[in-house]
Structure 1
Amino acid sequence: MPMAEEGKPDAQLFQLLSALLVQVESLSNQEEVELRAKIEALGLEVTKVPPKPSKNLDELEIAEELDKLSAKLDEVDQMVSSAMAADPQVQSLLSSTANVWMPVIIANAEERRAFTVIDGESSHEEQPVLPSH
Structure 2
Amino acid sequence: MAHEGKADEQLFQLLAGLLHQVESLTNQEEVELRTKIEALGLEVTKVPSKSLKQLDELEIAKELDKLSEKLDNVDEMISSAMASDPQVQSLLSDTADIWMPVITASADERRNFTSSVGENPETEANRGS
TM-score, length of structure 1 as denominator length: 0.39
Rg larger in 1 or in 2?
A: 2
| Higher RCO (C-alpha 8 Å, min separation 6) | 1
Q: Between Structure 1 and Structure 2, which shows a larger proportion of helix residues?
A: 2
